[in-house]
Amino acid sequence: MMIKKLPRNRAGRDWVVGDLHGCFELLRRLMKTIGFNPQTDRLISVGDLVDRGPDSHLVGEWLAQPWFHAVRGNHEQMALDAMRNPLEDLDRHLRNGGRWLSEMPPAERDACVAALAQLPLAIEIDSEVGKIGVVHADCPGNDWSALAERLAANCPSAEDYDALLWSRERVFDRGAGHVNGVALLLVGHTPQDHAVRYDNVMHLDTGAVYGGKLTLFCLDDFVEVSLPAGAEHAARFQLH
C-alpha cells in the first residue's frame, strides 16, 4: 500500500508530528502535555522516525499502535536500502545515524525492517476542511490527485520518489506554488526554527534531534504545540 486513506475522525483529535529521528521519549512528554487520548485521538507522522536519536530501536513498538500512522521518510528508505543491498547502501545509512539498526538482534531487526517496509509514501486524511495530505518532503508537480492515483495503482515514478522523500525546493524557494487537490499538505524533512507555512504546505520538522524542538500540529483547530528538547513546558499557539 503506497497511499493510506484515513476517514474523518469524529470521535477525537488528529495530530501531526514533525521529524522524530528516534526522539520518542520527547514525543511521549509532548503527548502528555496535550492530553492525547489513544482511545479517540490519532497521531500521524511526516516520516523520518529513525536515525540519529536515542530511541530509534523503539520504532516497531510505535508503528504497532493502532492510533499511530506514519509515512515513509528518506531515513526509513535508507534503512530499507541498507538491509536489501548492504554492499552499496549500508555505509550511507551508517553515516546518517543508522548504526542502531545494524546492532539490533537479527530477529528484532527483521521485524523492524518489515514494519518500515509497510509504510506508505503518502497519507490522505478526510477532514472538515477537505482532504489533508501528509508526505515526507513534497508533492510532485503540485498535483495531489494525480499523485494519489499513481500511488493507488502502485506505479510511482522515479521523480515521485525523489520529490516525496528528498525534495527541499519548496523551503529553499520560500514556496513553490499551491498544491492542488488538498486543503493542506503536511511535510517534514528540512529543519526549521519553527513550523512554517508556504502556500498551503505546512513544514513541521523543527530539529528535535539537533537540540531544537518537537512540534505537533492539530488538524482540528490548527493549534501548534512545541516542546524544546531540554525544556519542561511546551509552547502552544494558534496558527491563522
Tens-digit pLDDT profile for residues 28-40: 999 999 999 999 9
What is the set of active-site residues? 75
User: Which CATH number covers residue 137?
Assistant: 3.60.21.10
Q: Which helix (H) or strand (E) holds 89?
A: helix 86-95
What is the domain range of residue 224? 3-237
Residue 240 has what pLDDT?
A: 46
Query: For 124, how many CA atoms within 13 A lie in the half-sphere containing its CB?
Result: 19
- Who has greater pLDDT, 125 or 234? 125
Domain count, the chain: 1
67-82 pLDDT, tens digit each: 999 999 999 999 999 9
Residue range 184-198: mean pLDDT, rounded:
95
- CA-wise closest residue to 202 among 142, 148, 133, 144: 133
- CA-wise closest residue to 203 among 217, 223, 221: 217
Residue range 191-200: mean pLDDT, rounded:
93
Under DSSP, the state recorded for 49 is: -
User: Using CA atoms in the order 53, 57, 63, 68, what is the torsion angle rounded to 10 degrees?
Assistant: -30
Cα separation, 49 vs 22, whole angstroms: 6
User: What does the angle CA 34 – CA 38 – CA 44 come to, to the nearest 5 degrees?
Assistant: 75
Phi, psi torsion values for 85, nearest 5 degrees = -140, 65
* pLDDT over threshold 60, residue 239: no
